[in-house]
Amino acid sequence: MKNVSIRTNYSSGAKWESIVGYSRAVKVGNTIEVTGTVAVDENNELVGAGDAYAQTAYILKKIGAVLQTAGAEMKDVVRTRMFVTDISRWEEYGRAHGEVFADIRPCTSMIEVKGLIAPEYLIEIEATAII
């Protein structure tokens, strides 16, 4: 008998999901993958313009919300990937990340990229959680 894992896709309702073909998060078995997340609210408005710390903190709240919907918590995060447009601001991104993950200590990467989908986005974060 095959071990079949059920796949559940979680949507944010963003119009881009159907255009690009992605989900806000995907849960298969006990693993949840959260797609690259930027600092925009439910009205597609930027949160924390020019503020690397504020954008990071907001993104982590968004990730926490979708994890909760999928039956997980931030303590279940085992990996984050931070894509940043200016690595010289690493302490700002890192401070917000550390406030959430200081005791959890997931594996993480902070990678400088040429740009994100919109120039006002300073950071995009992906996460993996295992429950």
Rounded to two decimals, the pTM is: 0.94
Does the pLDDT value for residue 2 go beyond 70?
A: no
Q: Give 42-74 pLDDT, tens digit per residue.
A: 898 999 999 999 999 999 999 999 999 999 999
Q: Give 88-117 pLDDT, tens digit per residue.
A: 999 999 999 999 999 999 999 999 999 999
Give the burial class of 47: count Cβ atoms within 10 A of its Cβ; 0-12 exposed, 13-18 middle, 19 or more buried: middle
Q: Are 36 and 24 in contact (CB under 8 A)?
A: no
Give the burial class of 15: count Cβ atoms within 10 A of its Cβ; 0-12 exposed, 13-18 middle, 19 or more buried: exposed
Angle CA 60–76–64, to nearest 5:
25
Q: What are phi and psi of 24, to 5 degrees?
A: -60, -40
Q: Which structural domains are found in the chain, ordered by start?
A: 7-130 (3.30.1330.40)
Mean pLDDT, the chain, whole residue set:
95
